[in-house]
Amino acid sequence: MAKITPLIVAIALSFLAASAVRAAGRDASKSQFSFKDASGKTESIPVVSSYYPKKIEHPLAKVDRGLDPKLMRAATIAQERAHAHSRSRCWQYVKEALLASGAVNSYPKTAYAKEAGQELVSSFGFKKLAVRDPFRAPVGSVLVYGASKAAGHVELRTKDGFVSDFRSKIPSPRPLLGVYTKG
C-alpha cells in the first residue's frame, strides 16, 4: 500500500478548500491552507483556485480525402523509420518513404532537398499548393525548405507533426519553398 505523505494530503485539502472558498463567494487567490507537517510544525500554502493550461496553438493536421492516400501511407512509413534526431538524410528518407508507399514509381534523382519540389512536379505529377504555413499543410504533403548555401530540408506532414529522417512536432525553421501533393 502506498504511503500518503503530509504534502499529498495538503495538496488534496487545498483543492477542497478552494472549492469551499468559491462556494462561499470569496476571493480564492488570497486564501491560504494551513496544516501541520510530520514534525508538528504549522505550514501554510496558497490555495489553487484555477488552472490555465497552455493554449493549443497548432491543432492536429487535417486529412484531405481528395489527396492521394499513398501520401498518407508515405508519412506513416517515414514515421516508422524515423529517428529521434536528425541523421542529415532528410531527402533520402522521404524519397524511400514515397517509393515504398507507391506515391512515386521510381527513386527521385535530385541530390539536394531544396530541389525536391521541382522534381516532384516535373517527374511525378505532384502539384504545388497555395499553403504558406506548414501547420496548414494536409497530412501526407511534402514540405520543401530552402537554404542559401546548404542542401535545404524536406519533410512529410503527419497528423501530429513533421517527419523526414527524424520526428518533430514543429516544422523546420528554414524558409518554406513550397508544399507539394498529389490529387
Is the domain of 29 the same as that of 81?
no
Residue 129's pLDDT band, with cuts at 50, 70 and 90, is: very high
Residue 9's pLDDT band, with cuts at 50, 70 and 90, is: low
Is the domain of 87 the same as that of 130?
yes
Is the domain of 35 the same as that of 120?
no
In a domain, 166, yes or no: yes
pLDDT in tens, 37-50: 888 888 888 887 77
C-alpha cell at 165: 529522417
Tell me which residue range forms the domain holding 172.
69-181
Block residue for cell numbers 500554502? 45
What pLDDT score does 33 carry? 84
Is the domain of 24 the same as that of 110?
no
In a domain, 1, yes or no: no
Number of domains in the chain: 2
Residue 168's pLDDT band, with cuts at 50, 70 and 90, is: very high
pLDDT at 7 over 50: yes
Is the domain of 93 the same as that of 31?
no
